[in-house]
Amino acid sequence: MASLQLPADVEAWPAQRVVELALVEFPGRVALACSFQKEESVLLDMVFALEPNARVFAIDTHHLFPETYELWREVERRYGTTIERFEGASVDDGLWDTNPDLYLAIAKIEPLNRALLDLDAWITGIRRDQSPARADAPKLGWDEKHELWKANPLADWSDEDCWAYIKERALPYNKLHDEGYESIGDTHSTLPGKGREGRWAGTERTECGLHT
């Protein structure tokens, strides 16, 4: 366990200061988890402004939207970086329909576990208003599930906050947001919709297991 004296007032800190703390306290052992949504557009800008050689990783399920892969390439060009790609074992195209839990375990959870193996901390785009499961997310805290520190710098941000930051700085973002997709995942489990209601439509699922 990497030691960290958690600041008592961290919940009052602005996002940039939380990002800076994570980068300074865990040099080379912290990475931004990127799912190429608006939150990551914000965090990529913050992270690379502070550390041009920062580590960023993404989970490639092989079922991402073309717009997501295009943004992936654009981000690498803009910041002169290579995003670490983590992939799961090959699965049948129909596994999502027949056994979604197994699909998520193979395509998302196992690759994430590998991505976190050599890290002491990770940075995510979790916001408290995204779902009830995320309502109590701290800006910085110990991740019991993965046994490392987890920074959620945008925990108290809104959609409007994210878009204001993106537009002010003319940052690249996933163009699916312009088509009504507020939350973006795999092609077979994502529809346009407000918040996360477009994810796993028609099911009771609200999370894929990466954060809960």
124-171 tens-digit pLDDT: 999 999 888 889 999 999 999 999 999 999 999 999 999 999 999 999
What pLDDT does residue 105 have?
A: 94
Q: What percent of the chain has pLDDT over 70?
A: 89
Other beta carbons less than 10 A from residue 131's beta carbon: 19
Mean pLDDT for the stretch of residues 202-207: 55
Angle between helices 66-79 and 38-50 (to 10 degrees): 10
Task: Look up residue 105 and give its amino acid.
Answer: A
Instruction: Give me the mean pLDDT over the 9-33 stretch.
Output: 97
Mean pLDDT of all residues in 1-8: 80
Residue found by looking up tokens 């390439």 in the block: 73
> What's the pLDDT at 202?
57
Mean of pLDDT values over 74-103: 91
Q: Give the pLDDT mean for 78-88.
A: 97
Q: Find where tokens 């690759």 sit.
A: 111
Strands, sheet with 84-87, edge to edge from the N-terminal-most edge strand:
84-87, 55-60, 30-33, 121-123, 148-151, 140-143
Please name which of 69, 60, 148, 58 lies closest in space to residue 106, comparing C-alpha atoms: 60
Provide mean pLDDT across the span 53-82. Answer: 97
Alpha helices in the chain (DSSP H): 15-25, 38-50, 66-79, 95-98, 100-104, 110-115, 159-169
CB contact at 8 A, 12 and 138 = no
What are the φ/ψ torsions at residue 86 (nearest 5 degrees)?
A: -120, 130
Coil, strand or helix at 95: helix
In this prediction the pTM is 0.89
> pLDDT grade, residue 196 (50/70/90)?
very low
pLDDT for the residue numbered 204: 60
Residues identified as active-site: 208
Neighbours of 180 (CB within 10 A): 11
Which comes out higher in pLDDT, residue 185 or 44? Answer: 44
* Domain spans of the chain, in order of start: 12-189
Look at residue 210 in the predicted model and tell me its pLDDT: 56
pLDDT category, 188, cuts 50, 70, 90?
A: confident
DSSP-assigned letter for residue 136: T
Please answer whether residues 182 and 198 qualify as being in contact, where contact means their C-beta atoms are separated by less than 8 angstroms. Answer: yes
Q: Which CATH architecture has domain 12-189?
A: 3-Layer(aba) Sandwich (3.40)
